[in-house]
Amino acid sequence: MKMIHRSILGFITIIILCVISYGILSALSKPIVLHTFFKTQSNENNIKIIANKGGSKSWPENTMYGFEKVQELSIDSISLDVRLSQNNVLVAIHDKKVDRTTNGKGIVRQFNLDELQNLDAGHNWTTDDVIYKYRDLGITIPTLTEVFTNLPDLRKYINITEDNIIASDILCIKIHEYNTIDSVLVSAKYTEVIKYFRQICPEVATAADLYETTIFLALNAMFLSPIHNPNFQLLRVVLFVGLLVALV
């Protein structure tokens, strides 16, 4: 009987300690401050339309042609991917290679800017593998500078797909150069890249990477999210359809 009582007492003690620890951690946790990226958005409705890669299902992805079409439709947000050229210029392209979206072949990082912009970024776009209506129209791979210069009013969700922290350095410089701190949110494919970006550009909103998303969802499933202090402003959860959940 004494063993049973000791076991029960030990179990109760553990529960009490867990409750106390949860309370302390909850008290120490900091509420998420609404980032200016979200403050400057209209509150007319809670649904925001973001043209993925500039509307990749309707026209060539990550191109000025697509971004300008989005603006004509009065959609105020685009997502785009950026990589480095051989001469360290950020260009809008998702893949490591140019093969899928252009008439060229090879790794983006092995082309200088002039070579990349001589490629036809509309060459491979088609909906039926028969008609290629965007070929030979002068659609090129744009630089991030072009995007910032020509589309100042579009909100931009910029995804760094490059496995190189130099991309973070250049992006941070460009964001400040064009004074777009309040209208840009940055994400990255690689954890070390987004971590470094936050170190050098802490004032810019960022999205959780895959590891951070996994940790948050695991804690949330155990009702422990109140004790978590995330350093990101957006959580991207992919279900059967794309869903963006803002942590605001």
Asked if residue 134 lies in contact with residue 60, where contact means CB atoms within 8 angstroms, the answer is: yes
The helix or strand, by DSSP H or E, that contains position 149, with its residue range, turns out to be helix 144-150
Predicted pLDDT of residue 161: 96
State whether the Cα torsion 38-44-45-48 is positive or negative: negative
Give 4-18 pLDDT, tens digit per residue: 556 666 566 666 655
What contacts 226, CB < 8 A, 6 or more positions away?
A: 26, 29
Cα 222 from chain centre:
26
Whether the per-residue pLDDT at 29 is higher than 80: the answer is no
Asked if residue 90 lies in contact with residue 83, where contact means CB atoms within 8 angstroms, the answer is: yes
Whether the per-residue pLDDT at 66 is higher than 60: the answer is yes
State whether the Cα torsion 199-215-46-243 is positive or negative: positive
Could you tell me the CA-to-CA distances from 162 to 69, 87, 204, 215, 248 in Å, in that order?
26, 14, 19, 23, 28
Provide the residue type at 171 as one letter.
Answer: L
Q: Residue range 163-182: average pLDDT?
A: 97
Provide the residue type at 144 as one letter.
Answer: L
Give the range among 32-41, 94-103, 106-115, 211-220 with minimum mean pLDDT: 32-41
Residue 133, both tokens: 């209506």
Whether the per-residue pLDDT at 245 is higher than 70: the answer is no
Closest C-alpha among 34, 165, 148, 180 to residue 80? 148
Question: Quick count: other Cβ atoms within 10 Å of Cβ 161?
Answer: 19
Could you tell me the CA-to-CA distances from 149 to 4, 61, 66, 78, 174 in Å, in that order?
73, 19, 15, 15, 11
